[in-house]
Every structure is written in structure tokens, then in C-alpha cells.
Chain A
Amino acid sequence: QQQVKQSPQSLIVQKGGISIINCAYENTAFDYFPWYQQFPGKGPALLIAIRPDVSEKKEGRFTISFNKSAKQFSLHIMDSQPGDSATYFCAASHGSSNTGKLIFGQGTTLQVKP
């Protein structure tokens, strides 16, 4: 029940296209859903995050869509650029545990072709 499942494992998109990465969770106690971006040899960096009281959050070209009833959330990268080529991780945590610990998905390697 602690798992977060992420798909696809890898994704190739043409420059200017839309990249979509999906995640599903089981634990309904989760109340914080961040997406992290990681470049090779670097630590992950927070990209965007959402809480279940909203269905969508947009920051620039990045949008999170959240479906509470389906227990799914997704990252949309509009107008994808070669500089977006990286590994993306979804994650979840529940504030009631007060630990701040994150459960991560398996990661998606995105390649944006010029």
C-alpha cells in the first residue's frame, strides 16, 4: 500500500511536443505529491508539487493533473525542449505521519529530440 507506480519507464518526444508521465498510488493517506527532475550524476530537484485539494497545478510549461478518485496523477511538459531531457520521479508522502519521508516512483527517462 506504500507503493507509487510510475510509467512509462522511458519516453522519447520531439522538440515542441507534449511529454506525459503517469503515476498511481494506493495509500489514500498520501496528501503531498511532488515531481522531481534529475540530471545525470546530480541529485533530484523539486520541479512541481500538488496537494489533493486541487485537480491541477501549472507552473510554466509543467502541469500536474490530479485525479483523487482514481488515485492517479500525471506530469505534462508542454513544448518539450532538449534541455528537459532528464529522469523524472513522482513521489508521495502523508503529512499526518509527520516524517516528511517520500515514497518514490521508479522514474521515467525522458529524451527530447531536437
Chain B
Amino acid sequence: QSALTQPPSASGSPGQSVTISCTGTSSDVGAYNYVSWYQRHPGKAPQLLIYEVSKRPSGVPDRFSGSKSGNTASLTVSGLQAEDEADYFCIAYAGSSGSVFGSGTKVSVL
């Protein structure tokens, strides 16, 4: 299956919000409410931010929120902080085809 499409980059000033899209198909993003989002700092383990489209694991700040409309899922980071500068990627469940991975978005805090 094809990768989920994300913008290569996004940016915002401290305190602002940034939204990252993750576009798939009716066989993955659009078919199931199993989209997850991850943050990855260079050389570090990816961290789960959002699962099941909009649920946050314990310990993840509520500045991170997720949503979905049709075949596109979105991650919004509100109140941007310097520590939010990282790579973000989405993963969607695609049934018997397994997981489909996003192409990744580099977020810069200006």
C-alpha cells in the first residue's frame, strides 16, 4: 500500500498553533478510527502522542490533539514550545494489509 501523505515541513512561532495533515485512502485512514501520531527527536525513540485518532496517552500534554475527516487525519500542536521542534509522523491501521506509515513532517519553531 502507498504511504500516507504528510507535508514535508511545517512551522510556527512560540505560542502559535500548527496543524499537520495525514492523507490516506478509504482503505486505511478513512476505514478505521485507528490513526496514531508520533513525535521523534533526532537520535531518540519515537514517542506516541495520539492513538485512535484523538486519544492521548497519559503524560502527553493536552496541547497535542488529533482529529479526522474522511481520508485525512490531522494533528494540532497548540501553544508551540521550543521543545516541540521535531519530526512527526502518522500511522494508520489498514486491516489485513497491516499498518500504513506517513511520510513524516518536520516541525520548526521559529
Q: Please determine whether chains A and B interact with each other in the same assembly.
A: no
